């Protein structure tokens, strides 16, 4: 490929065609047969590299050759921007891009698009699939969530099993006021507790523990007559929404 300046001296300083007139003393750039033949052969050679033959009745052969090139080398051309086509992917390129996101590629045949996808549509599809992948990953990652502390909770998001634990003080022979669970239950299966240190000299057997009074609250109780009790408690149930 070469500019017209390789065949004519009547050109602009940049080697381009120029306007002019012989009468005005500045001749226009002539249309040289050699330059026209060169352009013709450049285009024809590219078309024939990807299509079987030239067709005088088809003015879309250059476009078809570009599309055929991109389909042959999809990994090397993710868009057709380099060919002046700014809003489309070739079908092969889009299929290749989609195959990198999932085993089953999505097509746009339902939109009446044959050999090319619109770039916007493909970008939306890739974004939607990535969102689905991210959500699945997040669900898997958050299968078990917890507050691991002396007073804490653990939730199995796959089954809804909620476990909570903690400790508290209860005066001799008394019951505490209602205490809120760290997280509300939908249903409490079990709630119990034990004193940290038994008192063997107490007359009624050191009975102390915890009980659920609702799905959101519990109480500690201490039946010993002479000693204050520190009680470790645990509750198991079903979390709301499961």
The pLDDT value given to residue 117: 62
| Euclidean distance between CA atoms 98 and 53, whole angstroms | 32
Q: What is the pLDDT of residue 58?
A: 93
Chain segment 60-111, per-residue pLDDT in tens: 999 999 888 877 765 544 455 555 555 666 676 677 667 655 443 344 455 4
Supply the pLDDT for residue 86: 57
Q: How far is CA 172 from CA 168, 194, 220, 221, in A?
A: 13, 14, 11, 9
209 contacts 221 by C-beta, under 8 angstroms: yes
Percent of the residues in the chain that have a pLDDT greater than 90, as a whole number:
39
Long-range own/partner contacts, residues 42-50 (CB < 8 A, 24 or more apart) = 42/1
Dist CA 155 CA 29 (whole Å): 82
pLDDT-based confidence at 209, cuts 50/70/90? very high
User: Is 0.85 topped by the overall pTM?
Assistant: no
Q: Which residue has the higher pLDDT, 80 or 38?
A: 38
pLDDT, average across residues 27-33: 89
Domain 145-238 sits in CATH 2.60.40.3940: yes
- In our burial notation (b when 16+ CB lie closer than 10 A, e otherwise), range 44-67 reads eeebeebeeeeeeeeeebbbebbb
Average pLDDT (144-159) is 86
| pLDDT average, residue stretch 17-23 | 88
> Residue 180, class by beta-carbon neighbours within 10 Å (0-12 exposed, 13-18 middle, 19+ buried)?
exposed
Phi, psi of 45 (to 5 degrees): -65, -40
Tell me which of 149 and 96 has the higher pLDDT. 149
Among residues 110, 106, 72, 105, the alpha carbon closest in space to that of 90 is found at: 72
Looking at residues 174-185, what average pLDDT do you find?
Answer: 94
CA distance 194 to 65: 81
205 vs 210: which has the higher pLDDT: 210
225 or 18, which is more confident: 18
pLDDT classification of 129: cutoffs 50, 70, 90 = confident
Q: Which pLDDT band, with edges at 50, 70 and 90, does 162 fall under?
A: very high
Helix (H, G, I), strand (E, B) or coil at 36: helix
d(CA 192, CA 201): 23
Q: What is the mean pLDDT of the chain?
A: 81
Q: Where are the domains of the chain?
A: 75-141, 145-238
Token couple for 120: 């916007």
pLDDT range class, residue 115, cuts 50, 70, 90: low
C-alpha R_g of the chain? 40
Quick check: helix, strand or coil at residue 93? helix
User: How much of the chain, in percent, has pLDDT values that exceed 70?
Assistant: 75
Beta strands in the chain (DSSP E): 88-90, 116-118, 144-147, 152-156, 161-170, 174-175, 179-180, 187-195, 208-212, 217-222, 229-238
Closest CA to 190 of 212, 221, 209, 208: 212
């Amino acid at each position: 490929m070469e500019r017209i300046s390789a065949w004519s001296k009547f050109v602009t300083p940049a080697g381009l065609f120029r306007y002019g007139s012989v009468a005005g003393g500045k001749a226009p750039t002539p249309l040289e047969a050699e330059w026209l033949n060169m352009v013709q052969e450049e285009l024809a050679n590219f078309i024939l590299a990807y299509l079987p033959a030239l067709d005088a009745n088809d003015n879309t052969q250059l476009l078809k050759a570009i599309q055929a090139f991109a389909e042959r080398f999809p990994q090397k051309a993710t868009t057709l921007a380099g060919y002046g086509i700014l809003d489309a992917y070739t079908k092969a390129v889009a299929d290749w891009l989609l195959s990198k996101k999932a085993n089953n590629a999505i097509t746009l045949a339902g939109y009446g698009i044959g050999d090319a996808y619109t770039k916007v549509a493909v970008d939306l599809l890739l974004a939607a699939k990535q969102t689905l992948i991210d959500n699945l990953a997040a669900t898997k990652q958050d299968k078990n969530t917890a507050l691991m502390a002396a007073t804490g909770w653990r939730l199995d998001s796959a089954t809804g099993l909620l476990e909570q634990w903690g400790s508290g003080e209860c005066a001799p022979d008394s019951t505490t006021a209602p205490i809120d669970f760290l997280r509300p239950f939908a249903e409490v299966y079990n709630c119990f507790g034990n004193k940290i240190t038994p008192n063997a000299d107490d007359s009624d057997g050191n009975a102390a523990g915890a009980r659920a009074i609702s799905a959101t609250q519990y109480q500690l109780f201490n039946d010993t007559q002479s000693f204050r009790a520190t009680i470790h408690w645990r509750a198991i149930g079903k979390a709301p929404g499961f």
